[in-house]
Chains A and B, each alone.
Chain A
């Protein structure tokens, strides 16, 4: 049995309707290799290192680790060489023919996903810099980064539509970044006992940073439209950017009380936000992150407005500490209390009309066994939810 058949046969017992499982491709942080889904590995390497063999589910493509970006920059002979994934995407977004670069990345990821019998249903990124405003270097790059992420998503959609009959543009999960935008001295620094100036992080307002995000998305859409051989309006209107909540007081999207309201208010400002930008804006319900922010209002999901519910178009799940933002671990190891919480949120997700996928997030996993058993647990819960 070849690799593809093996993967396809593993799907037999999986979820067939309703909320579908997916797996983020960044679970395997092999340091000497780029993320396997973006690399040119042999079948044996691929199944040894890239995918939990025996379980095949759809993919949430992580775009991308720094090492991936450096490897692709080398492959494309980019000059000057970008140092980070953010710079890489800005570089190719500004290129004379950006579709050339986007298509190659999309094709590699598509082919690797196909080997595992999987579809790419979402893209996940971590670029806090995208909230930079106009006038700064980061602010100039951010629209091109967004455009590149959108471009890769559209190219993947094209491939999957033509070859597999799957008509869905992968959603582009993004983080809204930190509120710390710069550093400065302050007259208060004179109070320092030793008389030396003290360091202050300058916080920008949520409102301004969300407006920056909206502005950068708007400019990215304009870049796509202006391409000589671009994308159809129908394709572009399918792009969704679900923002992921990150627990931490210094993140722009940090809770579902204040910052979710801020997002709703800014997105809903009809005078400032064009319709095509508003259509893009969505939320990614990262269950462990939302649980960490869940204090006394345990029934928060029932308080969501219809607008918020309609904008939730993707979800993440992972084993996670109840006490802090420690990182992901096996879903099998969560407490029974967490299980109840998670299943409640999954039930809520199942009731939404725009949220077909929930991705298992497992960044920097310790071992393959943990990933495998987490995938099995997620599938089991989804099946259980249907019975």
Chain B
């Protein structure tokens, strides 16, 4: 391997990577936290010898976003069989920014708020000399699941991206990246990147592309762009065209980003935890997602994760000077410096795993594989501000209202603030703690347009990769379906169904596809049709036996995906229909139907009968 020398790493990424406070460097601390208690533990003293210069999708795209030409490459440190960590060349980035954009106001904005002082020159000096090292150092990395979370009781979502990274690991690994601090922190973009990696068929975009795509969604979907004040008429016409805000994304923008991807669909969900059963509902729903390989981005408060302002049994994160293998919530302080607790800003984490009693999260501000209990994961919701309350009330309940409009809470917030601004010529203040309302759980789950697609592709993938894994995965899922079925029968699943926030609206041809939980009543299934299915551009190949005679579906619970598929009916000629794909748990097979009466379960928990389409004749 083409190794780099340690001096280069220290010079370009910071001395702290190799040696932190005269002891283990951040790299060794991370490895120790993750794999230090395993029998085949790494030799931490030699980790720095196994580093090479490598491409990095994250570093490259961050440079693209900041308008600088380098660094395009990063350092990649190998953790033996446990994967690799890509290390940002933080000082190169800062040097290039200073070279190219040395204007004070620009620099000022890149400095974390806690580091700002009145003397700009002094701040600049400190920033260039020290604060570069405050930026998170872990770029696009793939990590093995630590052994303690590989037992049967745990389910962790992984990806097969080793080849894409140019590496040779045979096992599925977990993606992890930390976010840069620029613009106040790009945690949402980092979370989106991890989710894209975890979804098997999606394009994977870098930070700049995610930021841009989210802005593009705002431009296209916001109902109130005309309210955005602009300095020039040019910007007024097209505000996103010329200016791209470098900052994190709101939950609605995160959802919007995934929705504009050609083969993805996101569900933004709210759940008040004042409901006595709310917490249990949330956790049950989250488990269903994770067990189905559906990653979830949860909106949290980093300060609350660290135990500030919550009465949880214990904080998710505590900072310590060392690694304690009896307490994996105790994060070694050397992981990262400069965590800003001065404000209780919203933050994003990705839920990547669960057991019956715990969850695992990847926190782009600190560490991968952070365990937390059901109580903890709910308690780290950010405080609900007045805007949340008002915006939730403003959400149209009318099922006929366009979903995007209804969910555009952020646009609504923006309108409110602008109106206040116009009225008071003042900036709205953040509610004081005693004014804060109870927490609001918010999460965005992301699925491919065809969540059953992997099954359709079994045995068809040309490189033969992971076919058996998929089969196994779906076999495992049948147990999950049985569990859901039991819950349905016992009437305990209202929380779960509530979480899906299915709105009883017509499925329009333009809908990009969603995952629905559907109960099919015995005898409601339609007749079998001779159909020829042509591929949908967003789906790739969809091959079903056109002569398949489908018996009536039995009563049960099915994961359903719908999409627009052009069907050629022998009797009626060409017509567009909604094709519905069922995973039949009892038969372990896929069925395709186009006409049936299905039962959707609405947000309120009531059963809403919704005739998808009754085909005539």
Contact = CB atoms under 8 A, between A and B. Distances in A.
- Chains A and B form a bound pair: yes
Interface of A: 28-32, 66, 83-84, 86, 126-129, 138, 177-178, 180-188, 190-191, 193-203, 248-251, 295-296, 319, 321-330, 333, 335-337, 363-368, 370
B109 A333 contact: no
Most buried by B among A32, A191, A326, A368: A326
Contacts of B551: none
Given A180-B64, A194-B113, A336 B463 contact: yes
B408 to A, nearest CB: 15
Interface in B343-359: 343, 345
Given A126-B72, A326-B140, 10 more contacts: A31-B8, A86-B69, A127-B69, A177-B69, A199-B110, A200-B243, A201-B245, A326-B204, A337-B463, A367-B2
Interface string B190-215: 00000010000011111011001100
Contact of B462 (A29, A84, A326, A335): A335
A249 B289 CA distance: 31
Contact of A249 (B113, B213, B242, B247): B213
A323 B209 contact: no
Given A180-B64, A323-B164, A326-B166, A203 B231 contact: no
Contact of A326 (B55, B66, B417, B430): B55
A194 B537 contact: no
Nearest to B210: A249
Given A203-B242, A336-B462, A324 B164 contact: yes
B448 interface: no
A368 B1 CA distance: 8
Interface string B178-191: 00001110000000
B535 to A, nearest CB: 10
Most buried by A among B161, B244, B247: B244
B209 A248 contact: yes
B230 to A, nearest CB: 7
A201 B209 contact: no
B100 A186 contact: no
A128 B208 CA distance: 16
A249 B209 contact: yes
B575 to A, nearest CB: 22
Interface residues of B, number: 79
Interface string B44-75: 00000000111111001100111101101100
A187 B230 contact: yes
Nearest to A335: B463
12 contacts: A31-B5, A84-B96, A183-B246, A186-B245, A187-B231, A199-B245, A201-B67, A202-B243, A250-B209, A295-B262, A327-B165, A329-B166
B228 A188 contact: yes
Contact of B183 (A199, A295, A296, A366): A199
Given A83-B99, A324-B57, A193 B209 contact: no
Interface of B: 1-2, 4-5, 8, 52-57, 60-61, 64-67, 69-70, 72-73, 95-96, 99-101, 103, 105-106, 109-110, 113, 140, 161, 163-167, 182-184, 196, 202-206, 208-209, 212-213, 228-231, 235, 239, 241-247, 262, 343, 345, 414, 417-418, 421, 427-428, 430, 462-463, 465, 537
A199 B57 contact: no
Given A129-B69, A187-B230, A324-B205, A198 B183 contact: yes
A364 B55 contact: yes
B351 to A, nearest CB: 22
Contacts of B110: 199
B417 A194 contact: no
Contacts of B54: 327, 364, 366
Nearest to B54: A364
A250 B164 contact: no
Contact of B65 (A29, A177, A180, A368): A180
Contact of B242 (A83, A194, A202, A364): A202
Given A84-B99, A200-B243, A251-B64, A366 B166 contact: yes
Given A187-B230, A249-B208, A324-B205, A182 B101 contact: yes
Contacts of A329: 163, 165-166
A372 to B, nearest CB: 13
Contacts of B106: 183, 199
A326 B164 contact: yes
Contacts of A363: 55, 73
A199 B229 contact: no
A178 B61 CA distance: 10
Contacts of A126: 69, 72
Contacts of B343: 194
Given A126-B72, A201-B244, A366-B166, A249 B212 contact: yes
A29 B73 contact: yes
A335 B100 CA distance: 40
A31 B109 contact: no
B230 A32 contact: no
Contacts of B66: 180, 201
Nearest to A185: B105
A142 to B, nearest CB: 12
B577 to A, nearest CB: 21
A149 B216 CA distance: 37
B165 A31 contact: no
Given A327-B54, A336-B463, A364-B53, A181 B67 contact: yes
Contact of A193 (B60, B96, B430): B430
A58 B5 CA distance: 30
Contacts of B417: 191
A221 B539 CA distance: 49
Contacts of A296: 537
A127 B54 CA distance: 19
A222 B586 CA distance: 76
B204 A188 contact: no
A28 B73 CA distance: 13
A28 B2 CA distance: 7
B56 A327 contact: yes
B414 A248 contact: no
Contacts of A198: 109, 183-184, 245-247
B476 to A, nearest CB: 25
Nearest to A196: B113
B454 to A, nearest CB: 15
Contacts of A330: 166
Contacts of B101: 182-183
A333 B465 CA distance: 12
Contacts of A178: 64, 67
Contact of A203 (B2, B55, B244): B244
Contact of B67 (A31, A182, A319): A182
A205 to B, nearest CB: 8
A8 B465 CA distance: 40
B211 to A, nearest CB: 9
A30 B2 contact: yes
A299 to B, nearest CB: 14
A366 B64 contact: no
Contacts of B345: 193-194
A326 B209 CA distance: 13
Nearest to B74: A364
Closest 4 CB pairs of A and B: A327-B55, A324-B204, A329-B166, A321-B164
Nearest to B342: A194
Given A199-B183, A203-B244, A250 B212 contact: yes
A367 B168 CA distance: 12
Contacts of B167: 366
Given A190-B421, A248-B61, A326-B55, A180 B463 contact: no
A32 B3 CA distance: 10
Given A31-B8, A86-B69, A337 B418 contact: no
B57 A326 contact: yes
B243 A337 contact: no
A262 to B, nearest CB: 14
B110 to A, nearest CB: 7
Nearest to B3: A31
